[in-house]
Amino acid sequence: MRLKGKTAIITGGGEGIGKATALLFCKEGAKVGITGRTKKKLDEVVKEARGSGEIIAFPGDVSKEEDVKRIVDEFVKRFKNIDILFNNAGVLEVGTVTTTSVEAWDKIIDINVKGTFLMSKYVLPHMLENGGGSIINNSSVLGFIGCQNTVAYNTSKGAIMQFTRSLALDHAKQGIRVNTICPGFIKTKMNEDFIGNPPDAQKQLDEIAAGLVPMGKRGEPDDIAYALLYLASDESKYVTGASIVVDGGWTAY
């Protein structure tokens, strides 16, 4: 078991990549706390947990400082320390700079960027107290390349990559490793939202992936979870400030 004896907080843990990662980390021996705004989804993940680890739900909104403080305090009270933080919570709304509302912009930046900042701000002192830890931030291939009609989301993912580099440099000599995972075209609800949730969404998405991704298909949430397992484990003890791309070759063009 690659995470035996370790503890982890995963934001946005109720579905998609967050859910797949929580289940894998539990299987690999970690005690995992999952956060999210929908308690029902979190509870369903807890019920699916298998392996020698444990998953506990800590409902809350990462864009709200009081929620973040409470989540971190409750997690530490339960598990004593924090070894791993996966800042995964994120939202997407389509729009150009002229069609994106101020409300939509604020929502995306608050959850995707501010949420990552707040969780890191309140988790990192516990990691320092315990001599180290691994923070992993969820960016995207869209932190590297552009995409039409998603100006706010693209901006947030670019910000996450720079935040990661800054945090990695600030704490490299204190035992804190900070890295970014950059998923490509993965089978998550966010893809369906991007194309407007038509009845044949899965067919359309598969056709898009066939023309866009060199490997010709969308990835599974597990494909990202296994890369995260490496970054969370001691196997990546000399890796910090890195951006790990898992995209079926999309950015190789």
Q: Is residue 10 within 8 Å of 88, Cβ to Cβ?
A: yes
CA distance 107 to 217: 30
**In b/e form, how buried is each residue of 69-94, taking b as 16+ CB within 10 angstroms?**
eebbeebbeebeebbbbbbbbbbbbb
Whether the CB-CB separation of 134 and 240 falls below 8 Å is answered with no
At 59 the three-state DSSP class reads: strand
Phi-psi label, residue 183: left if phi above 0, alpha if psi -120 to 50, beta otherwise: beta
CB atoms within 10 A of CB 221: 20
d(C-alpha 163, C-alpha 118), whole Å: 12
Residues that are catalytic: 153
CA distance 187 to 253: 21
Task: For residue 36, list its beta bridge partners.
Answer: 59
Instruction: Tell me how far apart the alpha carbons of residues 216 and 213 are, in angstroms, rounded to a whole number.
Output: 5
Q: Which amino acid is at 146?
A: G
